[in-house]
Structure 1
Amino acid sequence: MNRDISLISCAGSLPENQLSVSCENTSLNVFSAGNLPPIGYRKLWRLNKKENITRLIKNSLVTALQQVNMSVKDLDSIIVNLVWPGNILYEEVILLAKELNISCPIIPVSLGTAGGMTALELGRNQFANKNCNYVAVIAACNYAHWFSQDDPVRNLLSDGAACAILSRDPGMSLFHSHTIQTYNYEPLQLDTHSEYVKYTLEAGEFIFNHLPDTIYNCCYQLCRDAGKEISDIRYFHIYDPTHWVREVSANALKVNRGKIVTIFDKYGSLGPAQNLFALMELSEQAYVNENDLVVLFGFGPAATATSILLSWSNIPFSIQKDKID
């Protein structure tokens, strides 16, 4: 990987509507893996309508650009991963292009909850063109609305969007990346009669049993390819759509659990945007030093898992709560 490519700005956008969920009163679901949740309360962030995700996408893009005194006219391309678009036309991207009068290519990718990190890898690859100078990578999630109201899985899910700006300018260096396929996992299915997502009861158990190996293999190979050891990494964020991932990740990587960043209690599951929100949360922790190595691991069943190694640098970050009707 060309280490001259950096992340120079990142912004997140959440709906103002915040839900407080009692951990003790949350029903177990297929992805609980038999684990009882911790006590206390956690937060979820919800749009009233899934179509409003375009507003969050737009806000995250505009804010990330403004933080470095840029506009959409400066971009050479935009990569968008949304879980999930309303239809096969990806009309959210069409609306975004029209509202902001975007002239550069917008490339939608469909990679499930790993799509934020895999899109970041694809965004970095755009710089193989020597004339490419700025790329926006957007990861967004509205998948709570794709589960039925009585499905306990909804109690894990939030709506949100995040945007990262990549550049040849100095910033947080994208040191290396590694992607593997995950088609041995059980895919989610769309019930065409109800227009809601469905899944098998075995899907969650399979994730619980096999995710540790996937985490280790992807992160170990990433570090090995970059000439690093797992012990060289200051922090990991492993996609955490539920509470048990932190402990499982620490055991899989054989590291102190304090090295595993988790944001599930504060944000719920933001799908492909989860890793970027975690990166922004990490920026608030004063004990992250310049050039510390950070690994982000994105995971999607029956799609991809991508791990990315970054060399830390202080860049503009912001997370906004937007009032959306």
Structure 2
Amino acid sequence: MLSVGIQALAVHLPEGLRTNSWWNEETIQNNDNNELAYRHNSRYQFYDEAMAPYLADPFLGSIERRVVVDPNESSVSLGMKAATDVLQAAAISASEIDGLIATTMFADRVGIGDAGYLANELSIRGGAFNVEATCAGSMAALLTACALVKSGQKNRVLVVATAFFSRAIDDDDIALRFYGDASAAFIVGPVEDGFGLLGSDSLHLGSTCGTWFLDTVEDKHFPLKQRIRVRADASVTHMLRKTSESHLRYTVDGALRKAELTVDDVQCVAANAPTAWHAEFSANALGIDKEKVINTFPSTAYTGPVVMPFNLYTAVVQQRIKPGEIIMLYAYGAHSEASAAVFRWPNVITGTPPAPASVINHK
């Protein structure tokens, strides 16, 4: 049976760097984290214990986030930077890619994703479509790409994940503290026998529906005169606390069972952790060393569908993953699904490291 996995991986961070000093003191004082404090509840012990050290910090562990500062940047151009980098790193031409899957939060056009635009820019001749799975989009795209290649319908699939939160969240929304912009791209295709995807499992998150909403707002400064605005319901933090452990355990156990492995076989975990404490929480909930779980939240904040591949890239370049080792990928997308996937890591080509920021605290 054909073995399928990631052949190459690249990430991109925009040039703007927004530190915590971007927010004025009055804004910080008016938005404390008391609502997150809970009485001890043994049902959520791992989550509460990991979260507790951050409650006194108005930024909840976020320190820096990269943001787009060029007004002409689009979600497509942001995604293109990671896409072109991964093709160059792998020395693969566009003609060798016969499928493209895009997942974007949030595309410039209301209701239409970036896939066709990216494929056209790259001159890819194969098909292209969008996957909408909220923050779990890169995992859904990865598993879809693996299935297409394994079934023989595609030979190589390019996946592009983009996060453009700075355009979708207003500057006066304190939630902006926890989000950044970024893009990632990876090529899925045949790998050495016994390597690549070994097992996966998913669980729908219908119980999380209604925790955040998308509106369209008029914006005369935006080229299309309209943009998406994200609003979160106050229940979103409570929802994460109540559902994170059960969904993590269910999908990880399922993926390991299908791979005929145990959690002790896992050398590294790359997840789309939405908070600074999610890495430690995940390690404790799974009963593994916390050093095995990648955590880039303090330096990039949350980048939705880009977090999982960005953490994976970080693990590779820091040599925390070596060919032949077992890795676990995990993604959680409110309104969509939670998924875990087990891979035996092949020799993956990586793109160039993100360039240093050139604009600091631009406002």
Would the TM-score normalized by the shorter structure come out above 0.5?
Answer: yes
Larger CA deviation: 290-299 vs 90-99? 90-99
Q: SS in structure 2 opposite 1:296?
A: strand
CA distance in 2, matches of 1:288, 1:186: 35
Q: Tell me the secondary structure at the aligned position of residue 36 of structure 2.
A: coil
CA contact 1:52–1:324 (8 Å) conserved in 2:
no
The answer for the alignment partner of 1:321 in structure 2 is 355
**Which one-letter code corresponds to 1:17 in the other structure?**
G
User: Does structure 1 conserve the Cα–Cα contact (< 8 Å) formed by 2:271 and 2:307?
Assistant: no
Q: Residue 168 of structure 2 contacts residue 229 of structure 2 at CA under 8 Å; is this kept in 1?
A: yes
Aligned to 1:155: 177
Compared CA separation, residues 322 and 118, structure 1 to 2 (3 A): farther
The Cα RMSD (Å) is 2.9
Letter in 1 for 2:66: W
State whether structure 2 residue 249 is matched by structure 1 residue 249: no
What's the counterpart of residue 170 of structure 1? 192
In structure 2, the CA distance between the partners of 1:315 and 1:162, relative to structure 1 (3 Å rule), is same
- Alignment of 1:189 with 2:223, yes or no, is no
Equivalent residue in structure 1 for 2:87, among 59, 65, 75: 65
How far off is 1:278 after superposition? 0.6
1:33 corresponds in structure 2 to 36
The 1:41/1:138 distance shift into structure 2, 3 A limit, reads closer
Cα distance between partner residues in 1 of 2:216 and 2:7: 42
303-312 vs 44-53, greater mean Cα deviation: 44-53
Alpha-carbon distance, 1:160 to partner: 1.1
| Distance in 1 separating the partners of 2:142 and 2:72 | 24
Counterpart in 1 of 2:67? Answer: 46
Distance (Å, rounded) in 1 between the aligned partners of 2:320 and 2:113: 42
Choose which of 210, 215, 226 in structure 1 pairs with 2:243: 210
**Structure 1 residue 323, shift from structure 2 partner:** 8.9
The equivalent residue for 1:116 is 138
Q: Would the aligned equivalents of 1:293 and 1:310 in 2 still touch at CA under 8 Å?
A: yes
Q: Kindly indicate whether the alpha-carbon contact (under 8 Å) linking 2:62 and 2:301 is maintained by their aligned counterparts in 1.
A: no
The letter of the residue matching 1:153 is A
Larger radius of gyration: 2
1:13–1:161 Cα contact (<8 Å) kept: yes
Structure-1-length-normalised TM-score: 0.89
TM-score, normalisation: structure 2: 0.80
Whether the aligned pair in 2 keeps the contact of 1:186 and 1:203 (CA below 8 Å) is no
Amino acid at match of 1:283: V
2:294 counterpart (261, 270, 278): 261
**Offset at residue 23 of structure 1 (A):** 11
Which residue of structure 2 aligns with residue 5 of structure 1? 4
User: Residue 146 of structure 1 aligns with which residue?
Assistant: 168
- What's the offset of the Cα at 1:290? 2.8
Cα 1:259–1:91 shift into 2, 3 Å: closer
CA drift of 1:267 comes to 1.6
1:279 to 296, 312, 324: 312
| AA partner of residue 174 (structure 2) | P
1:290 to 300, 319, 323: 323
Structure 1 Cα separation of the partners of residues 34 and 117 of structure 2? 34
Alpha-carbon contact 1:3-1:174 (below 8 Å) kept: no
Rounded to whole Å, the distance in 2 between the matches of 1:53 and 1:309 is: 30
The correspondence of residues 67-146 of structure 1 with structure 2, limited to 5 A, is: 67-90=89-112, 92-130=114-152, 132-146=154-168
Distance 1:80 1:56 in 2: 12
Larger displacement relative to structure 2 (258-267 or 191-200): 191-200
Segments of structure 2 that go 5 or more residues without pairing to the other structure are 38-53, 219-227
| 1:118–1:179 contact (8 Å) kept in structure 2 | no
Question: For residues 227-258 of structure 1, what are the alpha-carbon distances to aligned partners after superposition, in whole Å with 9 as ceiling and x for unaligned?
Answer: 11112111112321211212221222122222
Letter in 2 for 1:299: Y
Amino acid of the residue matched to residue 109 of structure 2?
N
**What letter is aligned with 1:95?**
Y
User: 2:64 and 2:72 mapped to 1: Cα distance?
Assistant: 18
For 1:32 and 1:310, how far apart are their aligned partners in 2?
A: 38
Amino acid at match of 1:167: G
* Residues 297/23 of structure 1: CA separation in 2 closer, same or farther (3 Å cut): farther
**C-alpha deviation, 1:316, in angstroms:** 1.6
For 2:254, which of 221, 224, 245 is the aligned residue?
Answer: 221
**Long gaps (5+) in structure 1:** none
Q: In terms of mean alpha carbon deviation, does 151-160 or 46-55 score higher? A: 46-55
Distance 2:154 2:207 in 1: 36
- CA shift at 1:110, angstroms? 0.8
Query: SS at the partner of 1:161?
Result: strand
Verify: 1:307 aligned to 2:340, yes or no: yes
